Amino acid sequence: MPVRALSEALQGRRLDLIKMDVQGWEGEALQGVAGLLDANPGLIIYFEFWPHGLRLAGTEISRLADILHQLRLHVTLAEAADQTTPVDLLALERSLAPKAFTNLLAHR
C-alpha cells in the first residue's frame, strides 16, 4: 500500500483528535501536521513522551519543545485533572525514571 500524507488521506474532512504513537519520531510526525492544525483549530494531539525513544530517533528534548512551540501548541499532561497547566518537557524528562514514558496532550 502506498504511503500518503494524513492531510491527503482525509481530503478536507474535519479532524478533532490525533492519537500519535510513533516511538520517538514525534518531532517528524508533528512537523507533518502543521496544515491539519491550521485547518482544524480545535485539534488535540494525544502523544507519548518517551525521552529514551526520542534519543534513539535522534531527537533532543529541546528540539521537540522547539517544534511544539513553532506550531503554537500548548502541552499538558494527558492524565492530569487540570489540563490547562503547561508542561516543561525538560523538567518532565528529569522527573521520569530512565526509559519511562508519559502521555501528553498538545493543542492550540
Domains of the chain as residue ranges with CATH? 14-107 (3.30.950)
| Ranges in the chain, pLDDT < 50 | none
Query: What pLDDT does residue 84 have?
Result: 78
Q: What pLDDT score was predicted for residue 80?
A: 76
**Edge-to-edge strands of the sheet including 17-20?**
17-20, 44-49, 102-107, 74-77
Cell triple for 21: 504513537
What pLDDT was estimated at residue 98?
93
Average model confidence (pLDDT) across the chain: 91
pLDDT of residue 50: 97
Which string of DSSP letters, residue by residue, matches the chain? -----HHHHHTT----EEEE--TT-HHHHHHTTHHHHHH-TT-EEEEEE-HHHHHHTT--HHHHHHHHHHTT-EEEETT-S-TTS---HHHHHHHSPTT--EEEEEE-
The whole model's pTM is what?
0.89
pLDDT at 8: 80
